[in-house]
Structure 1
């Protein structure tokens, strides 16, 4: 697993835990015992800063699904990947989507990869 893949996984862990606990992901990042990869910090801070914009975009592209109805892993993977697609210039859209699919394949439901792929493909076309 590449360093960036590990950074994405760690960022997802922090964003997911923060949502579950009703906390700020940045606070969890800053309180971490082990130093985080620089890219993990960039992702966590970026998703936190742009969360409202990301959520609106995801909701617009998740036809028939509200954010609340989505599995929590899918919702947070979508936030992470949408952030990369929109705001991280050195990550090609296809890489962001592929990495997101790898995460949901490992961590979510059997239906999640197709759902996440469809939403992110719509986001990338914008």
Structure 2
């Protein structure tokens, strides 16, 4: 069983790899190999990169790319009217794509955990309103693709009647 910190590091690495693919035009296999060989669990130029659950990292990266059309549609629908995903800054776009992928295709991860994790990733890169945007967009997506789970959580724990 992976530790939560290794899953968090896998999410961060996946976002970084998606960003690199977006701005540098790298393919998924090249980005995956580079991150696993040179970044994850290593120290680069005085910056330590935490060990990550590689299988989870690969799934987020591959899945986000292979399901990009569906993922982008979810994100576009959740963004403000007139502000398509293509207009969103590249790091934020990578965060939203990875979060949307996980919410839609990784039902084994609780929606609120995924949302919280990607808000934390947004805090790693942004200090303004961006983490709030990530929270709002992913929450809207979760309410669409995991309606029952989100309704159950909104009601809170049930109390015995008697």
Is the 1:26–1:48 contact (alpha carbons within 8 Å) kept by the matching residues of 2? Answer: no
| Greater helix fraction, Structure 1 or Structure 2 | 1
Q: CA deviation at 1:31?
A: 4.5
Is structure 2 residue 94 aligned with structure 1 residue 71? no
Match of 2:109 among 87, 91, 94: 91
RMSD: 1.7
Question: Runs of 5+ in structure 1 lacking a partner?
Answer: none
**Pairs within 5 Å for 1:2-17:** 2-17=5-20
Q: CA deviation at 1:60?
A: 1.0
Alignment-derived partner of residue 60 in structure 2:
43
Is the 1:26–1:44 contact (alpha carbons within 8 Å) kept by the matching residues of 2? Answer: no
TM-score for both structures, normalised by structure 1: 0.91
Please say which of residues 29-38 and 54-63 is displaced more in the overlay: 29-38
Question: Runs of 5+ in structure 2 lacking a partner?
Answer: 41-51, 145-162
CA distance in 2, matches of 1:66, 1:22: 21
Is the 1:81–1:100 contact (alpha carbons within 8 Å) kept by the matching residues of 2? Answer: yes
Q: 1:109 to 1:52 in 2, by over 3 A?
A: farther
CA distance in 1, matches of 2:120, 2:28: 22
CA distance in 2, matches of 1:24, 1:70: 21
Q: Deviations over 1:61-88 (max 9, x none)?
A: 1013211221211111011111111111
Alignment-derived partner of residue 19 in structure 1:
22
